[in-house]
Amino acid sequence: MTVILTACTMRKRFSPDESLNARALTVGTTHSVGEDWRGRLRRAEPKALASDLYAGRSMLEAKLAASAIGARVTIASAGLGLVPADRQIPSYNLTVSPGSLDSIFKKLPPGTSTRDWWMQVSSDRQAEELADSLQRNPQSLLLVSLPHAYLSMLTPLITSLSIASTGRLRVMTASTQMDVAPALIPFLLPYDQRLDGPDSPIPGTMGDYASRALRHFVTNVLVDHPQGSIADHAELVRTSQSEWRFPTRKAGRRIDDQEALQLLRDNWDVAKGSSSRLLRMFRDEMNIACEQGRFARLAAIVRNEVAGR
């Protein structure tokens, strides 16, 4: 069975256990913080299936892609490690994104990397479970659909799987080749900015780019060419984009963080707290230039303010 490896989302459908907010942790060493977090997880009660807990477009696109080919979904979580989508898990607030009140890096020593933290929440058992699900079928693929931070965090795991050496790996991410480990570049499908252009059938934001590329690949390439090689699949992706235009970007006006935060607060309810909708409002309606990472950081601040009302 083909396996989709995707990332968790900050948005959850169920409120977290009070003890499972990263802000509740005590600042310490990577090991001590990890030990504290793992202890809290052991005491927490499961709240929902992983596939039902995570909300947002990126998770929806991954689930639609999985449904189209009967794939198994595994979710990479900065709080839980590798989680099968059909497993019961607790709700929590912990992210590796900077700026959020629940960014784990607020509790870790300066210089700690995402990979250092991943070692605290992942386990050999989780990696073995993923490897076993791939080995049961020698024709299965591993479709990796991850944003840059998660792809970097999981690169050692992905490259350790035998599936890479057999050519059964496909990688989709918004990262450029310069940001991708050399071992993964041969498996990187050549999606580019045209996925967000005026001719794209599946435009969106950078936050859900990897999952949108995944669904496009599954429904427009893989279903018709399940036995294709990486070279075949890459060429089909290039062909599918060949007549799409690149998006045109207007030079938006620049604002400081305080003005951006106030605009987010003023429009939060109008957008129903949707980050993608707010980003579109910034760019398309207000003509404001706001880099994706900066916007995510500021939106996380306002989301935490709203949650604390």
Here the tokens at position 135 are 């080995």
3-state secondary structure of 251: coil
| Predicted local confidence at residue 277, as pLDDT | 80
What SS3 class is residue 207? helix
pLDDT, residue 138, reads: 78
Query: Which comes out higher in pLDDT, residue 287 or 204?
Result: 204
The answer to whether 300 and 99 have CB atoms below 8 angstroms apart is yes
Identify the band that residue 250 occupies on the pLDDT scale cut at 50, 70 and 90.
low
> Chain centroid to CA 210: how far?
7
Residues in the chain: 309
Indicate if the pLDDT at residue 309 is higher than 80: no
Q: Which of 74-83, 152-161, 209-218 has the lowest mean pLDDT?
A: 152-161
Tokens 């938006």 correspond to what residue?
A: 252
pLDDT value of residue 2: 94
161 Rama class: left (phi>0) / alpha (psi -120 to 50) / beta: beta
Q: Which amino acid is at 151?
A: L
Q: Report pTM.
A: 0.81
112-130: average pLDDT: 94
Quickly state the pLDDT bin for 100 (edges 50, 70, 90).
confident
Tokens of 83: 């989680």
Tokens of 276: 């993608």
